[in-house]
Amino acid sequence: MELRTLRYFVATVDAGTVTAAAERLHVTQPGLSRQLRQLEQELGVDLFHRTGGRLTPTRAGQSLLPLAQDVLERADALRVAAAFHAKGRLDRLTIGAPLTTLRDVVAPFIATLDAGDPIPAVFQADGQTAGEILGRGADLAVTSFPARAPYESRTLAELPVWACVPPGHRWAHRARLRLAELVADPEHPSTAERLVLPPATFTSRISLDAALQRAGRSYSDPIEAADGTVAQALAAAGRGVAVVSDDPQFGLHALPIHTDDGKLSVRLITAWDSRHPAHTAIAAVADRLRLFVAQRYSVTNDRT
Amino acid sequence: MELRTLRYFVATVDAGTVTAAAERLHVTQPGLSRQLRQLEQELGVDLFHRTGGRLTPTRAGQSLLPLAQDVLERADALRVAAAFHAKGRLDRLTIGAPLTTLRDVVAPFIATLDAGDPIPAVFQADGQTAGEILGRGADLAVTSFPARAPYESRTLAELPVWACVPPGHRWAHRARLRLAELVADPEHPSTAERLVLPPATFTSRISLDAALQRAGRSYSDPIEAADGTVAQALAAAGRGVAVVSDDPQFGLHALPIHTDDGKLSVRLITAWDSRHPAHTAIAAVADRLRLFVAQRYSVTNDRT
DNA sequence: GAAACTTACGTAAAGCGTAATGATC
DNA sequence: GATCATTACGCTTTACGTAAGTTTC
């Protein structure tokens, strides 16, 4: 088992057929086929079913795939780090962030980077701590959990959590909402709106759940959406009230949610490893990200 | 760059000389020497200084070493996972835990495992969440942080945090201590004992710091010890009061610390990934660990 | 029979070991 | 001069490409 053979394995699963993978890898198809067989023999596991003249990953293959990808990612990280030591400057920078932040903040930000800056790579990391994201190979993490110990962090923004309702809704002309209005009054369960929520790993959901727990309340039977955009789409279709931290879409009206402790919000931080050899360069990017968010946030603030 | 070359690199740093590393790797010294040079050329970085007829890692070499080890560890994890799929049973199990737990709980526990059980491997993980520990390759994590989302967890124990004083100390015959007694009264700073504390990543320290923050108190100028044992050794030498969750040593007297919220303690949990292919086998080990701790803890309870 | 994977065979490259050479204390 | 690393050279292994064979739809 070598990095090369793992690359072969991943590429083959990825491409679907050995022929296609071979082309992508710039090797011939028989050569690739042989290497895959040897890898299977070495690991002692069938990675592919060979039924029907076609290769499909076995259960073992499916479960080993992410591990193989992980090895390759780490090897890549090593190569990037080596390039940093060679050139003295960071030429690639990996950012891990929750999906919502990725779309609303990180993506617009990396669009402002120019040729002099490191090439940004990005991956999705919902509901993970700075340590987990950085441990997955990111140089810079964006998360809503406070960072500890060997990680340095800066507050990026305090993003409001919105209750989004369609134009015709009875709350459409309200300027704000109290948390208690969102959830069922134990005395009158029927008065509550149905909630449309992102998965429990999402920061807005974590914030909502925590606030409700503090208030001793809870929602019943929410609609689980795949992410904030889907939640908003469902709200736009009149299925309920979407509670998200995404920017409102589909013409939805976004209301801030007030609790006893103030507005419901998500504190976004950016964090990096202070022991990273390029930590100065990373801190510089983090600072620019913070500046970018500050500008963007001062605009979005107008909306409230 | 292949796994083989990374193994060569790590082994060479580890062994100190190419000759020694070559012997350990079962290759000849010139062959190894050549591979190292090729790796350096490929990465574009000098990994070793060649001054004085001897190889010493450069700064780049030192900083790339843990990355290389990481790649190899991941590759190892892949091999173990493959072996699981091949044999249908887990033959190796990696446990990550904080140092104190490692010594007082995990080590005695793995001593009870027999030939039918997976071979345990263990690494130290202080002040890390379940996600971080499992992300580092552990199959089973022991931590004091609550686990979330895709991780399954069980409470192992509620370990008391002790204030340890030597026999002659004015508290040596006390049965308990209030938190306020430990730290300086802002009015009379001189009345406080000097504290001997483990690093800020240690669970007992985190618990103490959190309790003090809740109480609006703080300590001043504590002695920082490398770990709980060193802290106790310093306390035994009369340097101050050690605050640790380790079992008392050196004939120290251990007092539980009472706060407004009850006894100061550390809630230990054990966690694993519910998506792990061998999660049933891991859960079984976790259950036995919990049982082991329950027995052990009922004994240590006698002491309080 | 077209498209996919496998087997067979010859070739080129890459790694390895032995032997000789160079550098440092 | 002893110890450690490098360079030189020949061999062996290993991966690769081409060509032919097999299976499936």
pLDDT given for residue B188 in this prediction: 66
Secondary structure class of A297 (helix, strand, coil): helix
Mean pLDDT value across chain B: 88
The answer to whether A36 touches A45, Cβ cutoff 8 Å, is no
- Tens digits of residue pLDDT in B147-196: 887 899 999 988 889 999 888 888 888 888 888 878 867 666 666 788 88
Secondary structure class of A278 (helix, strand, coil): coil
User: Taking CB atoms and an 8 Å cutoff, what residues of chain A touch B75?
Assistant: 1, 6, 71
Q: What pTM does this model have? A: 0.81
Question: Within an 8 Å CB–CB cutoff, is residue A107 touching chain B?
Answer: no
Q: Residue B25: is its pLDDT beyond 50?
A: yes
User: What average pLDDT does the segment B75-101 reach?
Assistant: 90
User: Taking CB atoms and an 8 Å cutoff, what residues of chain B touch A87?
Assistant: 44
- pLDDT by 10s per residue, chain A, length 304: 999 999 999 999 999 999 999 999 999 999 999 999 999 999 999 999 988 778 899 999 999 999 999 999 999 999 999 999 998 888 899 999 998 888 888 999 999 988 888 899 999 998 889 999 998 889 999 998 888 878 999 999 888 899 998 888 888 888 888 888 788 676 666 667 888 899 888 888 988 888 888 888 888 888 888 888 888 888 888 888 999 988 888 888 889 998 888 888 888 999 999 988 889 999 999 999 999 988 887 655 444 3
pLDDT given for residue B72 in this prediction: 96
pLDDT given for residue A169 in this prediction: 83
CA distances from A76 to A72, B182, B248 (A): 6, 50, 46
User: Smallest Cβ distance to B128: which of A127, A131, A277?
Assistant: A131
Classify burial at A207, counting beta carbons within 10 Å of its beta carbon; exposed 0-12, middle 13-18, buried 19 or more. buried
pLDDT given for residue B126 in this prediction: 87
The separation, in Å, between residue B21 CA and nucleotide D13 C1' comes to 22
Which residue type, as a one-letter code, is found at position A49?
H
pLDDT given for residue A177 in this prediction: 84
A64 with B77: Cβ contact below 8 A: no
Does residue B41 reach within 7 angstroms of strand C, measured from its CB? no
Rounded CA-CA distance A102/B283 in Å is 35
List helix spans (H) across B196-302.
203-215, 228-236, 279-301
Residue nearest to nucleotide C14 (CA to C1'): B35
| Token pair listed for B196 | 């001997």
- Tens digits of residue pLDDT in B28-42: 999 999 999 999 999
A131 with B132: Cβ contact below 8 A: yes
The answer to whether B137 touches B77, Cβ cutoff 8 Å, is yes
Question: Within an 8 Å CB–CB cutoff, is residue B119 touching chain A?
Answer: no
The domains located in chain A, with CATH, are 3-69 (1.10.10.10), 89-156+267-302 (3.40.190.10), 162-263 (3.40.190.10)
Tell me which of A298 and B136 has the higher pLDDT.
B136
Percentage above 90 pLDDT, chain B: 46
- Tens digits of residue pLDDT in B45-67: 999 998 877 889 999 999 999 99
Does residue B31 reach within 7 angstroms of strand C, measured from its CB? yes
The pairs formed by A205-210 with CB atoms below 8 angstroms and a separation of 24 or more are A205/A243, A206/A127, A206/A144, A207/A144, A207/A161, A207/A245, A207/A264, A207/A265, A207/A266, A208/A161, A208/A243, A208/A257, A208/A264
